[in-house]
Amino acid sequence: MSILRSWGLRVEVMPGVLAGNPELRYLAAPDAARAADLEKAWLDPDVAAVVCGRGGYGAQRIVDQLDWTAMAALPEPKVFVGYSDATALHEAFAVRLGLSTLYGPMAAAAVFGADPATAEGLRRTLFEPESVQSLTSATAECLLPGRAAGVTAGGCLSLLAADRGTPFARRSFAGAILLLEDVDEDLYALDRLLTQLLRSGALTGVAGVALGSWQDCRPSPEQIRRLMLERLGPLGVPVVWELGFGHGPTSLTVPLGVPAVLDADAGTLRLELPALR
């Protein structure tokens, strides 16, 4: 929290963050309490942004407990920041409210405190969005060549696959620059998740794909790279490998719901508008 406060922000930690759940210890608090925290923060006129504390295994559990009608009635949109399992909430904000959000570091994530570049990327996105319209990293490279324009969408692969078939899931990512990353998965599991997106039609018409980090995925980056080529190659769209967002030791903040151009040959994602505009 000290980093956020150093930016001149007043930080309020919602009760559910530290409440605990004795029955399901991987959850910060019971579902109703966490949903109430998010809804209250979103509806509070004194709150400008909601930053997730952690990735949130239970994010998917609270999506349908929120009062989306009340949240949609706000005269001014707010900022929502998070990654990993927060993908479920990013998708809900996009589909139910039509809002742009930030796929970026969470306040209690290790990378936010350990990597100055990660924190600085979020700060600049929030306060100087015009300065971070071209996104790339030292690891970014072309997997499949070409340029594509579309609106950014996506996030954590396993959460996007889990969203298939739910009542408010978007039918496909047609026309989107799709972001995909994940953590701590075996090769066969990544194959299964990608295949689910393909079979469900979610990837039909996608404009391009930006791949992020595959931290602790097994057995090796090279085999994961080959899997991505085999599964995504038939789409016939540009694909960037390791753009630099997600669960890695450093992490870009990537706006979702923003028109952008993916240049696979250059390994860049260029936002056509500043974040959250």
End-to-end CA distance of the chain: 26
- d(C-alpha 261, C-alpha 177), whole Å: 8
Catalytic residue among 84, 137, 158, 251: 84
Q: Residue 51 corresponds to which amino acid?
A: V
DSSP helix/strand/coil, 118: helix
Active site residue 90: no
Catalytic residue among 90, 91, 181, 185: 181
Active site residue 251: no
In the chain, the DSSP E strands lie at 49-51, 79-82, 101-103, 134-135, 141-144, 147-156, 176-181, 208-211, 239-241, 254-256, 259-263, 268-271
Active site residue 247: yes
Cα→Cα distances 203→178, 188, 195, 255, Å: 9, 19, 10, 20
* Closest C-alpha to 234, from 258, 269, 209: 209
Please provide residue 6's backbone torsions phi and psi, each rounded to the nearest 5 degrees: -65, -15
Using DSSP bridges, classify how beta strands 147-156 and 176-181 pair: parallel, antiparallel or unpaired: parallel
Half-sphere exposure of 243 (CA within 13 A, CB side): 32
Catalytic residue among 91, 137, 247, 251: 247
* Closest C-alpha to 181, from 250, 246, 120: 246
Using DSSP bridges, classify how beta strands 254-256 and 239-241 pair: parallel, antiparallel or unpaired: unpaired
Residues tagged active-site: 84, 181, 247
